[in-house]
């Protein structure tokens, strides 16, 4: 790449020396350090800027032997020094910003691994794939959440979405995930687990200095218990979008018979949790997601019709299915989501006998 600005300087010197006296191409030398700054660091940019000054001096010597370094050439050399110095400073600031951005990305990725741990590819008789799409270009994590925990006879999963954005939503997501991981493996019923999770969220919102948020912050969630030795899935839906089961290319939305209020509103609503059950057989694919998927809009404002779009899809591999879904979703919105979106694809495999 550096050969381009050097070749440019050589060409300018040769053409300027051979050109008629009324044609001056010396000012074009400033393009050499400008081009270098677009791909190189401060040291190489400074070197090319110094070579541009030397090239301007060579032009002055070869063209005006009787009046070396006339006022015109002095002005051009001064301009090259000024522009070259500015470009070097720009490169220094750019590299500093790049280092800071790299550090921020590292911290963000570390926080994502700690808060939103990747789901295992295999857990019990299930094969799982997960995907998180952040709405912000540089963000790695937001208020969407998911986790999976093994019990002695089942796999418990949670997928949820914290109301709001920013670091507050990340903190609320971390709190709920910690409570879920701490309690889900215990031999408690699904109702007891959800009651505990709701109490944990309510307690967090009632901390000193945050009482004014009660009723304003909450977390929608679907908590599922997928049994190992049975094709049944127990679910409590707390205001979350319903799962979808794909069987032989046919997509079925699993609507809750009696959905519960979002987590964090239990002290206001005093819910009586109802457990819904549905079939999830060997070979089926279960899709869990957050509202960032179904609320994604295209250029006309139309929502993404998830159930209609996945109907007929034949991917049996959860990873391949989510790859297809990601591509189709981003095509629908034109490449940029308006809200974070999380997706989990689960396939039940035969239980070893």
Give mean pLDDT, residues 77-104.
89
φ, ψ of residue 131 to 5 degrees: the values are -150, 135
Strands (E), 106-169: 122-123, 126-133, 144-150, 154-162
- Note the Cα 177 to chain centre separation in Å: 19
pLDDT band (50, 70, 90) for residue 170? confident
- The DSSP 8-state label assigned to residue 19 in this structure reads S
Instruction: Give one word for 42, left, alpha or beta, with left for phi > 0 and alpha for psi -120 to 50.
Output: alpha
User: CA geometry: angle at 178 spanning 172 and 184, to 5°?
Assistant: 125
* Predicted local confidence at residue 142, as pLDDT: 63
Q: How far apart are CA 207 and CA 330, in angstroms?
A: 39
**pLDDT over 90 for what percent of the chain?**
41
**pLDDT per position as a tens digit, 26-43:** 788 888 888 888 888 899
Q: What is the pLDDT of residue 128?
A: 96
Helix (H, G, I), strand (E, B) or coil at 67: coil
Q: What is the pTM of this model?
A: 0.71
How far is it, in rounded angstroms, from Cα 310 to Cα 291? 16
Pick the more confident residue, 42 or 23: 42
312: its two tokens:
């007929």
pLDDT in tens, 261-302: 999 887 666 778 999 999 999 989 999 999 999 999 998 999
Task: Give the model's pLDDT for residue 215.
Answer: 47
How many angstroms separate the CA atoms of 115 and 267, rounded?
A: 26
Query: How confident is the model at residue 322, as a pLDDT?
Result: 96
Angle between helices 166-183 and 71-115 (to 10 degrees): 30
Handedness of CA 187, 116, 260, 268 (dihedral sign): positive
C-alpha neighbours within 13 Å on the C-beta side of residue 96: 6
Helix orientation angle between 42-63 and 3-18, rounded to the nearest 10 degrees: 10
Q: What integer best gives the mean pLDDT of the chain?
A: 84
Each residue's pLDDT tens digit, 208-224: 554 444 446 789 999 99
Residue whose tokens read 């996945």: 310
How many Å apart are CA 220 and CA 197, to the nearest integer?
12
Residue 92: pLDDT over 90: yes
Contact 322, 102 (CB under 8 A): no
Mean pLDDT, residues 237-248: 94
């Amino acid at each position: 790449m550096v050969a381009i600005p050097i070749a440019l300087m050589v060409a300018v010197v040769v053409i300027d020396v051979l050109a008629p006296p009324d044609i001056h191409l010396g000012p074009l030398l400033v393009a050499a350090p400008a081009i270098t700054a677009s791909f190189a660091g401060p040291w190489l940019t400074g070197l090319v800027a110094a070579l541009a000054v030397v090239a301007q001096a060579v032009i002055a010597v070869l063209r005006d032997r009787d009046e070396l370094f006339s006022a015109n050439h002095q002005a051009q050399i001064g301009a090259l020094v000024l522009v070259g110095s500015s470009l070097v400073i720009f490169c220094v600031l750019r590299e500093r910003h790049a280092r800071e951005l790299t550090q921020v990305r590292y911290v963000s990725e570390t926080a994502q691994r700690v808060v939103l741990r990747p789901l295992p590819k295999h857990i019990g008789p299930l094969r799982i794939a997960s995907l998180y799409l952040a709405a912000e270009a540089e963000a790695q994590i937001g208020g969407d959440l998911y986790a999976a925990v093994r019990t002695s006879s089942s796999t418990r999963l949670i997928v949820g979405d914290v109301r709001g954005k920013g670091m507050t939503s990340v903190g609320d997501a971390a709190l709920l995930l910690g409570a879920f991981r701490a309690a889900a493996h215990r031999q408690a019923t699904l109702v007891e687990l959800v009651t505990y999770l709701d109490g944990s969220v309510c307690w967090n919102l009632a901390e000193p200095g945050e009482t004014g948020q009660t009723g304003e912050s909450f977390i929608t969630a679907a908590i599922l218990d997928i049994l190992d030795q049975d094709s049944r899935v127990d679910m409590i839906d707390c205001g979350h979008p319903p799962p979808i089961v794909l069987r032989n290319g046919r997509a079925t939305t699993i609507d809750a018979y009696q959905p519960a209020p979002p987590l964090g509103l239990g002290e206001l609503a005093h819910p009586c949790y109802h457990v819904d059950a549905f079939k999830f057989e060997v070979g089926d694919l279960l899709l869990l997601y957050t509202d960032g998927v179904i609320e994604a809009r295209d250029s006309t404002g139309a929502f993404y019709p998830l159930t209609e779009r996945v109907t007929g899809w034949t991917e049996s591999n959860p990873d391949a299915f989510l790859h297809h879904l990601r591509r189709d979703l981003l095509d629908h919105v034109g490449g940029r989501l308006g809200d974070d979106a999380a997706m989990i694809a689960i396939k039940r495999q035969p239980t070893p006998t």
